[in-house]
Each structure stands twice: as structure tokens, then as C-alpha cells.
Amino acid sequence: MTDGDEDNKVKNVLFLCTGNSARSILAEAILNREGMGKFRAFSAGSFPTGKVHPYALDLLKAHNHPVDDLRSKNWDEFAAEGAPELDFVFTVCDNAAGEVCPIWPGQPMTAHWGVPDPAAAEGTEAEKRLAFADTYRFMTNRISIFVNLPMRSLDVMSLQARLNEIGQTLSDSV
């Protein structure tokens, strides 16, 4: 494969969380649209709930994301033989960041992009839905930075530093 082929290769990204019902699902949907064909996103959980949170689905539908293929799944699917070779793995919750992860095919770069769990939000329905909207905005901001990184001109150390910096970005003043 020539360098040009490597530059044109679709990069596989896995977003991890414990339950794989909200944050990682939102990130998967956002990157699959914002990645403009350069990235293919997946999500999984260490202890998946087995269902996508209805507020996450409502929010994604409201933003015109396809949702039919979204499902809560175990991260073991991505460590199994025949799984997609991963280029990046991002944890989006603090629990998953502290867990011992499987060995991922492809020796992906990793970073922690933790955000508060909207599924744990308390209060009125409006307050709970606002927590999902905040998570969507945080992940959209981070993913926008990520997909616009000059990957071809960054060495591995610089790219890793940038991925870690993105994980510190919470405000919408990106």
C-alpha cells in the first residue's frame, strides 16, 4: 500500500462506554455523519444495557441522523476475529476509561473523551432531555475538531497529544 492509499483509507473509530446506551451511541451517529466518508464509527460497552436510551434516539432523529442500525452491544464484538481493524478507540465515560479493555485489532490510538452520563440525569423530563442535548453538543464539538485534524501532517506523538486535548474540550467555545 502506498502512502496515498493509507491517506485515503477509511479510519475505523470505536467509542466505548459502560452501558452503550447514550454517550457512545450519540458519538457513533455523529461521527458517521460528520466523518464525511473518511471515518467509520462504532460504539460498544463493557456492560451494555442491551438497548439504546429512547432520549438518545429521539435526539438523533431530531437532528436527522439515521438510527435504524444503532444498537447496544458488548465491546467483545470488536476484539473478536473478523472485527474491523480499529484506528482509534475513545472512551466517553470515566468507568470505561478505568476498565481493562480487550486487545483491539490494529493497535489503535486511544484517548479519553469523558462526558457526564445524560442517562443518569435527574429532574423533570425537560431537564433530562437537556442533559442529552448537552452531551450531543459536547460530542459534536469534539468530533468536529477530530475530523478536521491535519492527520497527514501530524506525527504519532503530536496526534496523540491532540486527541488528549480534544478530550478536555467541554465548552462550545471550541
Quick check: is 101 catalytic? Answer: yes
- Catalytic residue chosen out of the listed positions 26, 52, 93, 111: 93
All three cell numbers of 38, joined, read 473518511
The residues pairing with 112 across neighbouring beta strands, listed in sequence order, are: 91
d(CA 46, CA 95): 9
The whole-angstrom separation of Cα 93 and Cα 149 is 23
Exactly one of 17, 29, 119, 139 is catalytic; name it.
17
Nearest-angstrom CA–CA distance, 119 and 121: 6
CB neighbours of 49 closer than 8 A, spacing ≥ 6? Answer: 19, 20, 21, 72
Residue 93 catalytic?
yes
The length of the chain is: 174
Task: Confirm whether 35 is a catalytic residue.
Answer: no
Exactly one of 83, 101, 149, 159 is catalytic; name it: 101
Which residues carry out catalysis?
A: 17, 93, 101
